[in-house]
Amino acid sequence: MTRTVDCSAHRTCAVIGALLLSLTAAWHLMGAQRGGSQQARPSNQTRTGAKNETAQLAAEQEAQLEALGYVQGSVKATGIGGVSTYDPQKSFEGLNLYLSGHAPSAILMDMEGNRLHMWHYPFEKAWDDYPGKMNEDHKVFWRRVHLYENGDLLAIFEGLGMIKLDRNSRLLWTSGFKQHHDLDIHENGDIYVLTRMGTVIPRINERKPVIEDSITIMGSDGWMKRSFSLIEALERYPEYALYWNRAKRKKGDIFHTNSLEILDGSAAHKNPAFAKGNLLVSMRSLNAIFVVDPNTEQVVWGYSADFEEPHDPQILPNGNLLLFDNLGGSPKRGRSRMLEYRLPSMDLAWTYEGTPWDRFFTKGCGMAQRLPNQNTLITETDTGRAFEVTPRRRDRLAVLQPTSHRPRQYLRRLPVRTRSDSSRGCAMAEDRTTREVKYFRVIGSCQLGTHSLQFPF
């Protein structure tokens, strides 16, 4: 059995693939605020405010691209909420950090769903001068969070910005670099986060803008240190043409980078590309995963197989690579599956799929976590479930359904120290979208269980 979380209650998911294009002007001068001051947003080009109609049209198209919404699910809400299944003997016990799509909040709760602590901060309070209505849906929830040991919290407003709160939800800083999808924390405290911008890149498309994903490195104080383009990083890879056909994929969201992990070097003995400090990313639009060297700012390893629209690649403590394959599985079993690869051969070591009577499918998002007891915690976003499976694949140990509305969330479990120093597990569940979808993701140094949470803070 497993732990399953269902937050899909009263609303019906929006149509998959709908693009929420804002008709307002883009906020091109978004910056990081510190006590009223602003910092210029990262950019690979200097915009001079061209006066001709072509340039104006391009700017409007860039604004529309930056305002793209995200798939909101494909399954009608069930109306079920709460912890529906829990086997304490087999599941990995812990706390749950849950993000709800109905509000910019994070809730820490126990295995039975009892609330222990809460963080909350609205977008309008963080940026009271935010102009226009660019992507209103992304203002009402947090896409991703990272919880520090002292109770401080990083939270991403998808495609808009990121904030840091203390344990009492007091604002420490804001950063408006259009952060999206994922972040990770370096051992020196730096914040690595995905950012994006809409821009015309003539060598790709002379007239139509594309979304240019970047990796931005910030200090713990929220100030940007540097940023580099993932388009340029892939172009520096000698084998990039195997993954990206620029003649066919040359407009819109050409990469859709959706995952970022700082490698700890545990797999470097299997492949030097997986050296400590390199970055593992997933690009859904290319059906590929890559390792990026942030020092040379170039891709050093790539892989694409029979998976489709992947999410959440991660290196496991055993040196294998775990991947969420959204659409590459059997339709009879639901199409989604988990794939664990052995490095460097990329032979399959373990898989998980649904069954004809218990299908496993999420078209968008989806995440997983290998727990210390070797169970795997899987988030099935579109149905609003999170379930924990044993290595035998069949046993479902717990089902967590924290809320009954707008569910899309995130679940993570890591070691916890109580005040008496007893040890137990901690799960973090994050509601990652604004509709009837659930989503779980391992983030930060918690990913390999390298830091523990002391609670109460």
d(CA 134, CA 118): 28
Domains in the chain, please, with CATH?
53-455 (2.120.10.30)
Q: Tens-of-pLDDT digits for all 457 residues of the chain?
A: 333 333 333 222 222 222 222 222 233 323 334 433 334 333 343 334 444 554 555 555 555 556 555 545 555 555 556 677 778 888 887 777 777 667 899 888 777 778 888 999 999 999 988 765 567 778 888 888 999 989 999 999 999 999 999 999 999 999 999 999 999 999 999 999 999 999 999 999 988 899 999 999 999 999 999 999 999 999 999 999 999 987 777 788 999 999 999 999 999 999 999 999 999 999 999 999 999 999 999 999 999 998 999 999 999 999 999 999 999 988 877 889 999 999 999 999 999 988 888 888 888 888 888 988 898 988 787 776 778 888 876 555 555 554 444 445 556 654 454 433 333 344 444 433 332 222 223 222 222 233 456 667 7
What span, in angstroms and rounded, lies between the C-alpha atoms of 387 and 108?
Answer: 18
* Contact in structure between 93 and 111 (CB atoms under 8 Å): yes
Q: What is the pTM of this model?
A: 0.79
Q: Give which of 249, 219, 252, 217 is closest to 234, Cα–Cα.
A: 249
What CA–CA distance (Å, rounded) separates 42 from 32?
Answer: 10
Which whole-number Å values give the CA distances from 28 to 45, 87, 199, 251, 288, in the listed order?
Answer: 12, 50, 11, 20, 30
